[in-house]
Amino acid sequence: MALYDRRLATRISAGVDARLRLLALLRGQRLSQLLDQLLDRGMPSAGELADQLAAWQAGAAAAEQMVAHAARAGFSPDRIADNHSQIQAALVGHQARTPAEADWLAGWTETTAVRVESLRDLARQESHDGS
């Protein structure tokens, strides 16, 4: 019983920790074996993860190009963000979105948000330096 006295990690809730310990006892397995099995069943395969990453990276690359093009064209960070919101609303409204499209959109959305915020920081810095 001493092997099961500690929680696995601080981020696992007490209820989940207790269920894992009980299941390991019932099955007569080490906790590490049980976790391997449960995670293996619940996680995508390495190939699926690679596909998800590739789709996310493609969305991020598209965002990089879109933001850079808009910035070169003289659009303000707020206008770029507004355009992004309109495009995102149209993409999210697409009902038949596949997991790959969702991953692409996540990469595009996250990258756009980071790049727009960088442009805002740059504009604030330029405004501060100019005053």
List the chain pLDDT tens, one digit each, 131 residues. Answer: 445 445 555 677 889 888 988 999 999 999 889 988 998 898 888 999 999 999 999 999 999 999 999 999 999 999 999 998 888 888 776 655 788 888 988 899 999 999 999 999 998 998 888 76
Pair 116, 81: CB distance under 8 Å:
yes
Pair 64, 109: CB distance under 8 Å:
no
Q: Kindly report the number of other CB atoms within 10 A of residue 118's CB atom.
A: 13
Burial of 110 from C-beta contacts in 10 A (0-12 / 13-18 / 19+): middle
Domain ranges (residues) in the chain: 2-42, 46-130
Phi, psi of 28 (to 5 degrees): 65, 35
Tokens of 32: 């590490």
* pTM of the predicted structure, to 2 decimals: 0.69
